[in-house]
Amino acid sequence: MEGYATKVPELNNCDAAQIRKSRIVSRIYVEGYDTSRSGYDFVNSMREHFSSCGEVMHVYIPGYTGYIPGTTLNRFSLIYLRGEGAEEKALKLSGSYSGRGHKLVVEPYPFHAKHLDHKFAPTRYEDNIQHHTILVGGYDTRLPLEHVERYLYEQLSKCGRVMIAICEDGQGFVYSNAYVTLVGIDAVEKLLQLSGSDEEGWESLKFSRFDCPDRDGEAGACNMRPDCPLDPYSSYSTPVMALASLAPEDPNLPKPPCMTSLLPRPWIYRKVSGTGCGCILNTETGDEVEVPPSLLEPASRICYAPEDPNLPKPWKGLVDISTGYGYFWNTETNVTQYEIPYSSASLLGLIHSSVYQRKFLHG
């Protein structure tokens, strides 16, 4: 959409070519590391080991969904590096030693290559329902919130299923960074490829590296103050399930679950007696943020979300127009939830492989 992105200053051909090279993301194959480490420790060790090559945008560990005592990591992984000459620099580290004396094997594996896909096939289904979060900036913060949301959704949905959380400050300006959650490794790889391309609409967007796995035994924990969506000094954030082509408001549709269920552990909500307000409390640090009840229980206006062929029957996607949050409705039991519902077959596969865990970012 014209005017939604930040205006990019005109560059000469040499400068433009240099910027394009610096944004290119390379994919490399790595094995030989210590598989007894947790995902958190392994990702941080790879970030450190390959930091001289470029920016480590993402570390993909096939089949990993959280730390489980007594289990080991997959013996091979993919690392995505951004920067000019990143691949060549990384290949020079083949034969180098990572932590605990393990000798790394590093091979090129460009996005168009397929010869190693069979190694990733056994876990690809589980890997394509995992959530990955990244910060995105570079859009025009002077535009109205709904314009920025729609622009980001139109661009980023080219990668696959996305959820976007973005807030306004108290003066009507949107924050300069949006939290974007992508569902699945295929969506992650598509974004990384487009971020280094000349795709229209992506020229001004800026991407941080993807989030790191949780620390050992702390799956879902978050000690950062949850400014989105529960900061009383900002507008409601909007993880965008679908902003385009929303259906008309329907007063007969069921209301969404209480928004307190979106709080990441160890944050909880409690009412303050006699004030009519409440607060969100970090049970580990003792930090408190006071919030009015209307922030957690807004007046809901509901409509259907665009049809999603991936939803199992009898689930339907709905959108709370007053907050922008998407949620899910079981038309047979009348249950509503923020968690993405899985089919029975999907759940059996997840439970059987011991990779099912609760997620706290939903769309």
Token pair of 126 as six digits: 């589980």
Contact predicate 68/354, CB 8 Å = yes
Q: Is the pTM of this model over 0.85?
A: no
Cα 236 from Cα 215, distance rounded (Å)? 29
Contact residues for 190 (Cβ-Cβ < 8 A; gap 6+): 158, 159, 160
More confident residue, 295 or 290: 290
- What is residue 239's predicted lDDT score, i.e. its pLDDT? 39
SS3 291: strand
Nearest to 313 by CA among 344, 347, 358: 344
* CATH 3.30.70.330 residue ranges for the chain: 13-126, 130-214
More confident residue, 247 or 278: 278
What's the N-to-C CA distance of the chain in angstroms? Answer: 23
pLDDT at 245 over 50: no
Neighbours of 102 (CB within 10 A): 15
- What is residue 225's predicted lDDT score, i.e. its pLDDT? 43
Q: Is 94 exposed, middle or buried (0-12, 13-18, 19+ CB in 10 A)?
A: middle
Order of strands, sheet of 315-320, starting from the edge strand that comes earlier in the sequence: 302-304, 315-320, 325-330, 336-337
Per-residue pLDDT of 30-50, as tens digits, reads 999 999 998 999 999 999 999
Contact predicate 361/325, CB 8 Å = no
Give buried/exposed letters for 272-290 (b at 16+ CB in 10 A, else e): eeeeeebbbbbeeeeeebe
- What is residue 232's predicted lDDT score, i.e. its pLDDT? 31
Contact predicate 331/340, CB 8 Å = no
SS3 46: helix
| R_g of the chain computed on alpha carbons | 22
pLDDT at 358 over 60: no
- What is residue 217's predicted lDDT score, i.e. its pLDDT? 54
Per-residue pLDDT of 63-120, as tens digits, reads 998 877 778 999 999 999 999 999 999 999 999 998 778 999 999 999 999 999 999 9
Q: What is the mean pLDDT of residues 279-293?
A: 73
- For the segment(s) 130-214, the CATH number from 3.60.15.10, 3.40.50.300, 3.30.70.330, 3.90.1150.10 is 3.30.70.330
Cα 228 from Cα 234, distance rounded (Å)? 8
Nearest to 162 by CA among 326, 313, 300: 326
Residue 123 backbone dihedrals phi, psi, to 5 degrees: -110, 5
SS3 38: coil
- Output the average pLDDT for the chain: 76
Which architecture, in CATH terms, is 13-126? 2-Layer Sandwich (3.30)
**Could you say which DSSP state residue 280 is in?**
E
